[in-house]
């Protein structure tokens, strides 16, 4: 499929389109990280809502809306006020031990590093980008590239044509950036582009002669007590800057407090407040997003004086300086920019006059206890207690556990019939991994042709099998070394296998080897019904570090099994936003309505959410 020219530079979309092809691609490239795992974690002090002058009832309303609104897809939530913690946690299988990726939220952390460097006299925001890379300043260099400054990178006004696609196709990202022309004069147009932030990371790495995490460690992470960080590296070993940071909810909250207090934390001024104030100023009036009002140094400004660190699919830190209130979230929804139902629910709570009107002390204490119980239910992965609280919380917990045990018992009875059986996919195949992972991490497509089942008391093991293509079979016959290599990777003969172990109604954590990488995955199976009241077994595979997941539904029909695949964030919805003009990408209002055939929607249905049939075969 040819990629329309309008798609170039649109946040991985063109790469994703190319990965729709069924031809096999090389194994995903080795993903390397810069890591910090030895800082002493300093927990925030926990206080109740009455002590902080907040209404637990308003926070409860927000939590319920975020959890019960299907489009929000909440994974984790944290709330602090003035360095005092109200709540912080995740629903399974996410956890503090395996931090969720923050996507573009980390752009602001890169900007903080720039402010530290400016305060130390290592660079100035008016310095030209080429002053750090004079070897690229030649007679052939574009005049606009010569004009580009650090501030242009900070404000997304560099105008560069070098986009995130560079990360997929180039080894030297700095070289690609500096040899690419601009589509507009620097400083004249806001064009959101993660490569701007990558260049900030590259510049900081060059002038400090240390990694971004190493530079920020004594200046930010140690004073804030933030541990367990990992940042994805480019092929040249530089932190990606604009994406790729894995950071816990507590870490996100502390970064928000650092900004809300203008560089002060725990009564210690870590950087002169003027640098953070400058960072938070509106530098570019914003009308490319329906919610945002302006953009500072890698910060989105919101109505009523709020601002946010924003990462696609719901990785947000929303900050109210006046009340020193910070709300941080992780999610897996399909929204790429600030404006969403998800963000508006959070802002609705923060803007509510009732939020700062707690009830009388005795009643507020009761409401706070109710809120903490609801949050505990969220962190256990349960349905929230009814607002009327028909059951005492202890009985509600027992009832939830009883329901889970009943479901486990049902799954054991149904899945025992699967034991030591092979399900062959008829006519076509389906892809095991989410397409978003193929687009962003170049995962191999792995087209499943057979599934072999093995059951135990608490879990079911599924061996997904991919039959080799004719070309692969021919290559194997001609290359004995290839056969040995395949065998070393749990491959044999003409098949490739990936084994997934799923818990009954509870997630089972495991490590998968994919190409050169090892990736954490959690999987569970659970029961549901289709519209005809047929039993459906759902397999949910979650890759916690990426926020991506794949759901595979097994419809148990009379004489066969029908299989349907889905993925989250919803790739179909994301592409639909782009193709049908429902979103703004790269800072431009681009309406592609009518410019692509309706058959594309059918194409997406077939590729992203295929429905195939399977029949039982002998092993």
| Rounded-to-integer distance, Cα 103 and Cα 311, Å | 5
Q: Would you state the structure tokens that stand for residue 412, as one six-digit string?
A: 């054991």
Q: What would the 3-class secondary structure string for 67-79 be?
A: HHCCCCCEEEEEE
Looking at residue 177, its pLDDT comes to 96
Residue 25 in contact with residue 19, Cβ under 8 Å? Answer: yes
| Rounded-to-integer distance, Cα 535 and Cα 562, Å | 11
Looking at residue 479, its pLDDT comes to 62
Residue 418 in contact with residue 535, Cβ under 8 Å? Answer: no
Looking at residue 581, its pLDDT comes to 47
User: Of how many residues is the chain composed?
Assistant: 619
Residues of the chain where predicted confidence (pLDDT) is lower than 70: 1-27, 288, 389, 468-495, 576-607
- The answer to whether the pTM exceeds 0.75 is yes
Residue 349 in contact with residue 360, Cβ under 8 Å? Answer: no
Looking at residue 600, its pLDDT comes to 60
Residue 148 in contact with residue 122, Cβ under 8 Å? Answer: no
Domain boundaries in the chain? 5-12+412-617, 55-93+278-382, 101-247
Give how far Cα 373 sits from Cα of 53, 384, 393, 397, 551, Å.
Answer: 20, 9, 7, 10, 29
Q: What would the 3-class secondary structure string for 2-57 be?
A: CCCHHHCCCCCHHHHHHCCCCCCCCCCCCCCEEEECCCCCCCCEECCHHHHCCCHH
Q: Would you state the structure tokens that stand for residue 283, as one six-digit string?
A: 């530098």
R_g of the chain computed on alpha carbons = 25
Q: Would you state the structure tokens that stand for residue 422, as one six-digit string?
A: 């092979």
DSSP for 62-122, please give it: HHHHHHH-TTT-EEEEEEEETTEEEEEEE-TT-BTTBPPB-GGGHHHHHHHHHHHHHHTTS
Residue 49 in contact with residue 358, Cβ under 8 Å? Answer: yes
| Rounded-to-integer distance, Cα 183 and Cα 6, Å | 13
Looking at residue 475, its pLDDT comes to 63
Residue 303 in contact with residue 236, Cβ under 8 Å? Answer: no
> Would you state the CATH architecture of domain 101-247?
3-Layer(aba) Sandwich (3.40)
359 exposure class (CB count in 10 Å sphere: 0-12, 13-18, 19+): middle
| Rounded-to-integer distance, Cα 399 and Cα 408, Å | 14
Peptide bond into 463 cis (omega under 30): no
| Rounded-to-integer distance, Cα 68 and Cα 90, Å | 15
Looking at residue 592, its pLDDT comes to 44
pLDDT tens-place string over residues 436-472 = 888 788 788 788 999 999 999 999 999 999 876 666 5
Q: What would the 3-class secondary structure string for 429-477 be?
A: CEECCCHHHHHHHCCCCCEECEEEEEECCCEEEEEEEEECCHHHHHHHH
SS3 state at 249: helix
Residue 250 in contact with residue 88, Cβ under 8 Å? Answer: yes
Q: Would you state the structure tokens that stand for residue 521, as one six-digit string?
A: 């995955």
Phi, psi (deg, nearest 5) at residue 181: -75, 175
SS3 state at 514: strand
| Rounded-to-integer distance, Cα 206 and Cα 131, Å | 12
Alpha carbon of residue 203 to chain centroid: 26
């Amino acid at each position: 499929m040819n990629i329309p020219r309008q798609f170039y530079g649109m946040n991985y979309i063109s790469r994703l389109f190319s990965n729709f092809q069924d031809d096999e691609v090389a194994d995903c490239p080795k993903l390397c990280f810069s890591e910090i795992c030895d800082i002493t974690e300093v927990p925030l002090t926990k206080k109740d809502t009455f002590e902080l002058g907040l209404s637990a009832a308003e926070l409860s309303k927000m939590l319920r809306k975020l959890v019960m609104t299907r489009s929000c897809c909440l994974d984790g939530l944290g709330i602090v006020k003035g360095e005092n913690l109200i709540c912080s946690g995740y629903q399974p299988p996410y956890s503090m031990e395996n931090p969720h990726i923050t996507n573009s939220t980390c752009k602001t952390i890169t900007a903080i590093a720039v402010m530290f460097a400016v305060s130390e006299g290592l660079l100035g925001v008016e310095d030209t980008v080429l002053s750090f890379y004079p070897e690229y300043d030649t007679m052939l260099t574009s005049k606009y590239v010569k004009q580009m400054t650090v501030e242009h990178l900070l404000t997304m006004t560099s105008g560069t044509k070098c986009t995130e696609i560079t990360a997929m196709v180039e080894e030297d990202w700095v070289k690609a950036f500096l040899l690419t022309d601009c589509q507009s004069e620097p400083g004249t147009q806001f064009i959101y582009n993660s490569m701007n932030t990558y260049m900030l990371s590259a510049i900081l790495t060059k002038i400090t002669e240390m990694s971004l995490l190493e530079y920020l460690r004594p200046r930010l992470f140690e004073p804030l007590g933030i541990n367990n960080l990992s940042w994805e590296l480019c092929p040249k070993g530089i932190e990606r800057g604009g994406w790729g940071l894995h950071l816990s909810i507590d870490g996100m909250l502390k970064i928000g407090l650092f900004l809300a207090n203008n560089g002060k934390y725990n009564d210690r001024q870590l950087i002169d407040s003027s640098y953070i104030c400058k960072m938070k100023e509106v530098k570019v009036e914003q009308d490319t997003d329906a919610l945002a009002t302006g953009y500072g140094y890698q910060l989105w400004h919101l109505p009523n004086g709020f601002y946010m660190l924003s990462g696609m699919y719901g990785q947000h830190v929303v900050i109210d300086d006046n009340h020193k209130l910070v709300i941080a979230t992780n999610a897996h929804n399909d929204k790429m920019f600030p404006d969403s139902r998800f963000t508006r629910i959070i802002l609705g709570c923060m803007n509510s006059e009732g939020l700062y009107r707690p009830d009388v002390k005795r009643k507020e204490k009761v409401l706070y206890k109710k809120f903490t119980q609801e949050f505990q239910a969220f962190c256990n992965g349960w349905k929230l207690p009814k607002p009327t609280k028909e059951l005492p919380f202890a009985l509600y917990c027992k009832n939830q556990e009883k329901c889970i045990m009943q479901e486990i018992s049902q799954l054991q009875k149904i899945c025992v019939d699967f034991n030591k059986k092979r399900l062959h996919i008829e006519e076509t195949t389906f892809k095991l991994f989410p397409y978003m992972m193929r687009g962003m991490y170049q995962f191999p497509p792995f087209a499943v042709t057979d599934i072999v089942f093995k059951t135990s008391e608490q879990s079911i093991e599924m061996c997904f099998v991919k039959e080799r293509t004719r070309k692969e079979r021919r290559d194997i016959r001609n290359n004995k070394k290839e056969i040995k290599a395949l065998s070393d990777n749990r491959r044999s003969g003409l098949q490739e296998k990936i084994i997934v172990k799923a818990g009954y109604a509870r997630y089972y954590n495991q490590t998968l080897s994919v190409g050169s990488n090892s990736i954490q995955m959690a999987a569970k199976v659970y029961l549901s019904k289709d519209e005809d009241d047929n039993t459906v077994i759902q397999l949910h595979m979650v890759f916690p570090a990426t926020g991506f997941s794949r759901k595979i539904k097994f419809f148990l029909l009379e004489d066969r099994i029908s299989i349907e695949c889905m993925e989250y964030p919803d790739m179909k919805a994301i592409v639909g936003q782009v193709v049908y003009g429902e979103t703004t990408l790269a800072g431009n209002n681009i309406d592609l309505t009518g410019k692509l055939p309706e058959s594309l929607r059918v194409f997406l249905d077939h590729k992203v959410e295929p429905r195939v049939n399977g029949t039982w075969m002998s092993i």
